[in-house]
Chain A
Amino acid sequence: MRIGVCIKQVPDTDAHPRIADSGDHIDDDDLSWVISSCDLCALEEALLLVEAVEEEEGGIDRPELVVFSLGPARVEEALRKALALGVDRAVHLEDAAFRGGDAMADGRALAAAVDREGCDLVLAGAQSDDLGQAATPAVIAGTLGRPYAWLVIAVELDAASRSVRAVRELEGGMNEVLRLELPAVLAVQAGINKPRFASLRGTLQARRKPLEKVDCAMLGVEPGQVGKAGARIETMAVRVPPTGGGGLRIAGDAAEAAAELLAHLEREALL
Chain B
Amino acid sequence: MSRQEPLVWIVENVGSGPGSRETLVCAQLLGSDPRLARLDEDRLGPYSPGVFAKALGALIASGSRERKSRSTVVLLPHTYQVAEFAPRLALLLGAAYIPSISGVHRDGEGGLRFRRSILQARLEAEVRPRARTIVATVQSGAFSSDETPAPPRQVVEVCLPADMEPRPEREILGREAASAGGVDLAGAERIVTAGRGVGGADQVSVAADLAAALDAELGASRPVVDNGWLPREHQVGSSGHLVAPKLYVALGVSGSIQHLMGMSGSRVIVAVNTDPEAPIFSLAHYGIVGDLHDVAPALTGLLNERAGR
Contact = CB atoms under 8 A, between A and B. Distances in A.
A178 interface: yes
B287 A170 contact: no
Interface string A137-177: 01101110011111100000000000001010111111111
A174 B176 contact: yes
A104 B90 contact: yes
B178 A175 contact: yes
B128 A236 contact: yes
Contact of B119 (A129, A189, A259): A129
Nearest to B228: A194
Contacts of B91: 104, 107, 138-139, 142-143
A196 interface: no
Contacts of B225: 191
Contacts of B131: 232
Contacts of B175: 170, 174-177
B172 A233 contact: no
B241 interface: yes
Contacts of B270: 261, 265
Judged by DSSP, the binding face of A is mixed
A142 B89 CA distance: 9
Contacts of A251: 289
A234 B125 contact: no
B55 to A, nearest CB: 14
B295 A232 contact: no
Interface in A164-222: 165, 167, 169-181, 184, 189-191
A17 interface: yes
B309 interface: no
A247 B178 contact: no
A104 B97 contact: yes
Judged by DSSP, the binding face of B is mixed
Given A190-B226, A245-B282, A262-B299, A235 B287 contact: no
A74 interface: no
A131 interface: yes
B74 to A, nearest CB: 13
A268 B268 contact: yes
B308 interface: no
B277 interface: yes
Which of B119, B222, B289 has the most C-beta atoms of chain A within 10 angstroms of its own C-beta? B119
A16 B91 CA distance: 33
A34 interface: no
Contact of A235 (B100, B121, B127, B282): B127
A178 B48 CA distance: 10
Contact of A233 (B130, B239, B246, B269): B130
Given A147-B169, A148-B88, A233-B130, 20 more contacts: A134-B87, A134-B99, A141-B49, A146-B169, A148-B49, A148-B84, A150-B80, A151-B84, A170-B175, A177-B173, A177-B175, A232-B130, A232-B131, A238-B124, A241-B282, A242-B282, A248-B286, A249-B289, A258-B302, A261-B286
Interface of A: 11, 13, 16-17, 19, 26, 102-104, 107, 129-135, 138-139, 141-143, 146-151, 165, 167, 169-181, 184, 189-191, 231-245, 247-251, 253-255, 257-259, 261-262, 264-265, 268, 270-271
10 contacts: A102-B97, A133-B99, A173-B178, A232-B90, A232-B129, A233-B98, A247-B281, A249-B288, A258-B299, A270-B190
Kindly list the 4 A-B residue pairs having the minimum CB-CB distance in the complex, ordered from nearest: A191-B226, A254-B294, A138-B87, A258-B298
